[in-house]
């Protein structure tokens, strides 16, 4: 079962689409209770070279799994395998491990997504022959705006960190969860932002509402840009995985609508 589809994204489009960590206490941070029931996560598996994004959206009753990989023969440098479908059954195979059965919308075959809880922020997924450890993603990332790029990981302090920025490099977001309060989403936006970049890294210079400053350094972990090392200020760098926002159905619909509008202008 090898349902691979080439993507129109290019390596260069992702290579510098990365950003940051737990600077929530440094700037305009506010706790925001989310009424969304969407469950989402993303992770990069070095062995297989796959960057996963998984979304379970009860509003449409479906599970979505997107897997990106290096595919130089595609003409774009990247390929993607996508799965989506309505879960038909769930089986608890052991404590903390659930198998989700779904029939894929595209090929009509049944697949089993094995979901194993590791801790507050981490879940192990298995689909077919591939497995990955994913980090929880605040669904807010798909609601902020079209065209943003997000990465997610767990920083050295144990916080769940999803960070994003726009392509102009003048807006920087944080959406995540603190280790001390894993059930409450925390959000920050930096609007006073400048960006420098070279062949190895992108550096965002951030200024918070209180006037404090911090740099966020993003270094691609490989040429695909599907994973990165992120350093905030003097903190230890941490590994992060790219989040495919197109795995969120509402975001995908909005993006497709925007593309049609752009083409008709």
Q: How confident is the model at residue 3 (pLDDT cuts 50, 70, 90)?
A: low
Residue 189 CB coordination number (10 Å): 17
> How confident is the model at residue 258, as a pLDDT?
81
Q: Does the pLDDT of residue 150 top 90, yes or no? A: yes
- Return all residues near 182 (Cβ < 8 A) that are at least 6 apart: 120, 121, 160
* Cβ(137)–Cβ(162) below 8 Å: yes
- Phi/psi class of residue 36: alpha, beta or left (left: φ > 0; alpha: ψ in -120 to 50)? beta
Which span out of 202-211, 243-252, 256-265 was modeled with the highest average pLDDT? Answer: 243-252
Across the range 88-111, mean pLDDT stands at: 94
Q: Name the most confidently modeled range: 9-13, 26-30, 183-187.
A: 183-187
Summary mean pLDDT of the chain? 84
The CA angle 83-89-93, to the nearest 5 degrees, is 100
pLDDT in tens, 45-89: 999 999 999 999 999 999 999 999 998 776 668 899 999 999 999
pLDDT band per the 50, 70, 90 thresholds, residue 209 = confident
Burial degree of 30 (CB within 10 A; 0-12, 13-18, 19+) = exposed
- Residue 37 to residues 25, 109, 183, Cα–Cα distance (Å): 26, 27, 13
Kindly state the percentage of the chain with pLDDT values over 70. Answer: 84
Q: What percent of the chain has pLDDT over 90?
A: 57
- 188 confidence band (pLDDT: 50, 70, 90): confident
Can you give the pLDDT at residue 77?
A: 84
The upper half-sphere exposure of residue 94, i.e. CA atoms within 13 Å in the direction of its Cβ, equals 3
| 48/84 Cα distance (integer angstroms) | 21
pLDDT at position 36, please? 56
Is pLDDT of 163 > 70?
yes
Confidence of residue 234 (pLDDT cuts 50, 70, 90): confident
Question: Do residues 24 and 98 lie in contact, with contact meaning Cβ atoms separated by under 8 Å?
Answer: no
pLDDT at 15: 31
Average pLDDT of the residues in 166-194: 90
Look at residues 168, 167, 175, 166 and name the one whose alpha carbon lies nearest to residue 141: 175
Local structure of 71: helix, strand or coil? strand
């Amino acid at each position: 079962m090898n349902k691979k589809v080439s993507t129109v994204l290019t390596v260069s489009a992702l290579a510098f689409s990365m950003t940051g960590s737990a600077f929530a206490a440094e700037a305009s941070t506010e706790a925001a209770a989310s009424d969304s029931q969407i469950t989402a996560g993303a992770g990069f598996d070095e062995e297989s070279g796959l960057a996963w994004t998984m979304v379970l959206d009860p509003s449409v009753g479906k599970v979505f799994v997107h897997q990106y990989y290096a595919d130089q023969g595609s003409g774009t440098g990247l390929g993607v395998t996508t799965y989506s479908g309505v879960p038909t059954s769930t089986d608890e195979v052991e404590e903390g491990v659930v198998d989700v059965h779904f029939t894929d919308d595209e090929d009509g075959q049944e697949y089993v997504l094995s979901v194993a809880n590791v801790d507050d922020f981490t879940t192990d997924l298995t689909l077919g022959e591939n497995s990955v450890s994913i980090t929880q993603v605040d669904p807010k990332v798909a609601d902020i705006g079209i065209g943003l790029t997000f990465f997610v990981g767990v920083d050295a302090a144990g916080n769940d960190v999803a960070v994003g920025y726009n392509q102009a490099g003048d807006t920087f977001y944080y959406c995540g969860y603190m280790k001390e309060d894993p059930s409450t989403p925390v959000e920050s936006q930096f609007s006073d932002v400048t960006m420098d970049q070279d062949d190895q890294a992108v550096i965002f210079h951030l200024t918070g509402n209180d006037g404090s400053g911090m740099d966020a350094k993003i270094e691609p972990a490989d040429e695909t840009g599907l994973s990165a090392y992120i350093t905030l200020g003097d903190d230890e760098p941490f590994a992060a995985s790219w989040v495919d926002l197109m795995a969120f159905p509402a975001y995908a619909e909005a993006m497709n609508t925007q593309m049609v509008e752009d083409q008709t202008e």
